[in-house]
Structure 1
Amino acid sequence: MSFLDITHLEKSFGAVRVVKDFNLSVEKGEFISLLGPSGCGKTTVLRMVAGFEEPSSGAIRIGGTDVVGKRPNQRNIGMVFQAYALFPNLTVAGNVGFGLKIKGTPRAEIDARVAEMLALIGLPDLGGRYPFQLSGGQQQRVALARALAPKPQVLLLDEPLSALDAKVRVSLRNEIRAIQRDLGITTIFVTHDQEEALSISDRIVVMNGGVADQVGTPFEIYNRPNTRFVANFVGQLNVFRADAGGRIGGVEVGQGEYAARPESLHLGHAEGADIRLAATVAEVHFLGSVIRLGATVAGVDKGVALDIFNRPDAPPPQVGQKIDLSLSSRDLIRLQ
């Protein structure tokens, strides 16, 4: 049995089923992301694991014990919220030690654990400050330290980075992952940001309409999506429809619709790429190390996008320029 087992979990609010037969097994020390758009049920699943919502049906087992019906403080779970939820009247040290104080931990043990946690999050000298004296990134680090201080079995993070600016978000997500690996704590991370989920997860659960559409590693989710929703939601897609003879670019692939990621397309005739397409450059977006081209292709309604690496000695094609594109039929994703 896995460390955290969620089986046949359901949640309805009135006549609306928000979570539908959700199943997930998590190994001890795994980092799992629940990924999906707003309203897909990911936060509701997290709140049921935490004990803030009661399931309509199903079981949640932590270490073999069903925790459904237990209060949040009986589950030995740490929770980090989107809006920090720090106590404004308590210092940083007071916030971090709050859970330990509630448990009746001796003062000396609290002080030692708080110092340990502040060192872990890289804020060893800020214990005397109040939340309003901290940046957003620092406040979220304190929230993380508060959640970890009581040594929970499971760490739950509900979109903890969405209120931060882009640079801080990337830095802090890497810090969270490093701390999680260091402690070996089983973690569930809720996000709507595909890049976040792909960059830090052991496995990703892509949710859609209350259902887990696909569970897999980032590599599997991105390269081998099981459903059209997963294929469209995770990363950008170019969609090709085979002609009446089941061909794309003169290569027989079978009837239906297929997709290819922008990085699968090549400018010019690449070795091993059997599909060739004539195109016209419609857009050029310089993104630093990568340049994304948008191009029109006969028979492709929305055109295609492809990524090429920036080279100082080779300027990208210009809008209106005729180009040849190529890709391998092996890189096509069949859309179900």
Structure 2
Amino acid sequence: MSFLTIEHLEKSFGPNRVVKDFNLTIEKGEFISLLGPSGCGKTTVLRMVAGFETPTSGAIHIDGKDVVRLRPNQRSIGMVFQAYALFPNLTVAQNVGFGLKVNGTARQEIQSRVEEMLSLIGLPDLGARYPFQLSGGQQQRVALARALAPRPQVLLLDEPLSALDAKIRVSLREEIRAIQQKLGITTIFVTHDQEEALSISDRIVVMHQGIADQVGTPFEIYNNPATRFVAGFVGTLNLMEAKVIDAEKGVTTIGGAPVILGRPLPKGKATLAARPETIRLGRAPGKDTVLAGKITGVNFLGSVIRLRADVGGQVIDFDTFNAPGVPPPTPGTEVELSLSARDLLVIPE
């Protein structure tokens, strides 16, 4: 039996349906990310699990217990907010121990647990400081320790890294994942950053207009998007309109060049997709399809150079590794691009 179950969850604000028939089962100790653009309903789902919003309809069960009618402090949930929400007049230690104090925990036990939590987040010597004396990353670590101190059954994180700079975000998300795995706590992480979701999640729920468009592992979400929205939102994807020559055998053309997929296609035309990393400059071994194009853009990204080409009026992005002493082709250069038909995705309409 799943540890956390969400069934037919709906939320409306007046006539606006923000969450529509949302269903999800989460195993104990699993790390789930709700991924999607602003306004897709992911934070509303999180707030309903936390008890800060009341569902219009639907059920939420934690460890077999229906919690929809329970107050937030009755759900055994720890929550980390985007804006830290630390008490400025309390020290770090007092902030971490706040939930324990409210629960009536003995003073000696609070002190022991606070020391344990500060050690866990790597700030064992900062208990006497106040939040304004900490960096943003340190404040977020304290917020995480405060959420974990009462030993909740579920940890909820609402875009906790969005206010931090890029380098700190990367290191802190790795720390959060390491702590989550060490404690084995069931976790829901809300983010609009696909890289975050792909790098630390056991599974990802891609949300769009209040609906869970796809649920799967990072590998499944990235390599086998179930809808056009998921395909376009997660990672960079080239969408190419192909003319279908033989629908049964999967024979098409892109920019006039034959592409044989070997699997059934809709008649007339199909939308095919390819990730930039699956396309090679020139005729590469093992690639069975060659497209002729012209370079229209060069974007230097350090170890990788992203090139853009016009292929029969369609824009295709592809990647090459930076090789010192071998400059990339310049805009206007006629090139050949090679790819494997097996790497092409057929995007449903």
More deviation, 77-86/235-244: 235-244
Q: Which residue of 2 aligns with 1:257?
A: 271
1:240-255 alignment, distance < 5 Å: 240-243=240-243, 245=245, 246-248=252-254, 249-253=257-261, 254=265, 255=269
Q: Which residue of 2 aligns with 1:271?
A: 285
TM-score by length of 1: 0.98
Q: 2:330 aligns with which of 314, 318, 324?
A: 318
The CA distance in 1 between the partners of 2:30 and 2:165, in whole Å, is 27
Q: Structure 1 residue 107 and structure 2 residue 133: aligned?
A: no
Q: Structure 1 residue 282 and structure 2 residue 288: aligned?
A: no
Q: Secondary structure at the match of 2:286?
A: coil
Once the two structures are superposed, residues 180-203 of structure 1 have per-residue CA deviations (whole angstroms, 9 ceiling, x without a partner) of 000000000000000000000000
Q: Which residue of 2 aligns with 1:85?
A: 85
1:191-230 alignment, distance < 5 Å: 191-230=191-230
Residue 286 of structure 1 deviates from its aligned partner by 1.3
TM-score by length of 2: 0.94
Once the two structures are superposed, residues 135-182 of structure 1 have per-residue CA deviations (whole angstroms, 9 ceiling, x without a partner) of 000000000000000000000000000000001001100000000000
Q: Which residue of 1 aligns with 2:249?
A: none
Residue 270 of structure 1 deviates from its aligned partner by 1.5
The CA distance in 2 between the partners of 1:217 and 1:247, in whole Å, is 32
The CA distance in 1 between the partners of 2:70 and 2:18, in whole Å, is 21
Shift of the 244–105 alpha-carbon distance from structure 1 to 2, 3 Å rule, reads closer
1:79-228 alignment, distance < 5 Å: 79-228=79-228
Residue 318 of structure 1 deviates from its aligned partner by 1.7
Q: Which residue of 2 aligns with 1:30?
A: 30
Letter in 2 for 1:288: G
Letter in 2 for 1:287: L
Q: Which residue of 2 aligns with 1:304?
A: 316
Residue 271 of structure 1 deviates from its aligned partner by 1.8
Once the two structures are superposed, residues 261-317 of structure 1 have per-residue CA deviations (whole angstroms, 9 ceiling, x without a partner) of 1001111111221221111111111111111111111141xx111011112242222
What root-mean-square deviation, in Å, do the aligned CA atoms of Structure 1 and Structure 2 show?
Answer: 1.0
Any unmatched runs of 5+ in structure 1?
A: none
The CA distance in 1 between the partners of 2:291 and 2:313, in whole Å, is 10
Q: Secondary structure at the match of 2:284?
A: coil
Once the two structures are superposed, residues 84-119 of structure 1 have per-residue CA deviations (whole angstroms, 9 ceiling, x without a partner) of 000000000000000000001111100110000001
Q: Secondary structure at the match of 1:250?
A: strand
More deviation, 234-243/38-47: 234-243
The CA distance in 2 between the partners of 1:105 and 1:76, in whole Å, is 15
- The size of the alignment, in residue pairs, is 334
Contact residue 244 and residue 270 of structure 2 kept, 8 A: no
Contact residue 84 and residue 139 of structure 2 kept, 8 A: yes
Q: Secondary structure at the match of 2:222?
A: helix
Q: Which residue of 2 aligns with 1:331?
A: 343
The CA distance in 2 between the partners of 1:273 and 1:241, in whole Å, is 20
The CA distance in 2 between the partners of 1:244 and 1:48, in whole Å, is 46
Once the two structures are superposed, residues 212-252 of structure 1 have per-residue CA deviations (whole angstroms, 9 ceiling, x without a partner) of 00000000000000000000000111111112523233123
Contact residue 101 and residue 110 of structure 2 kept, 8 A: yes
The CA distance in 2 between the partners of 1:11 and 1:243, in whole Å, is 42
The CA distance in 2 between the partners of 1:244 and 1:208, in whole Å, is 30
The CA distance in 1 between the partners of 2:328 and 2:253, in whole Å, is 30
Identity in percent: 73
Q: Which residue of 2 aligns with 1:10?
A: 10
Once the two structures are superposed, residues 64-83 of structure 1 have per-residue CA deviations (whole angstroms, 9 ceiling, x without a partner) of 00000100000000000000
The CA distance in 2 between the partners of 1:16 and 1:319, in whole Å, is 47
Q: Secondary structure at the match of 1:123?
A: coil
The CA distance in 2 between the partners of 1:86 and 1:35, in whole Å, is 25
Q: Secondary structure at the match of 1:86?
A: coil
Q: Secondary structure at the match of 2:117?
A: helix
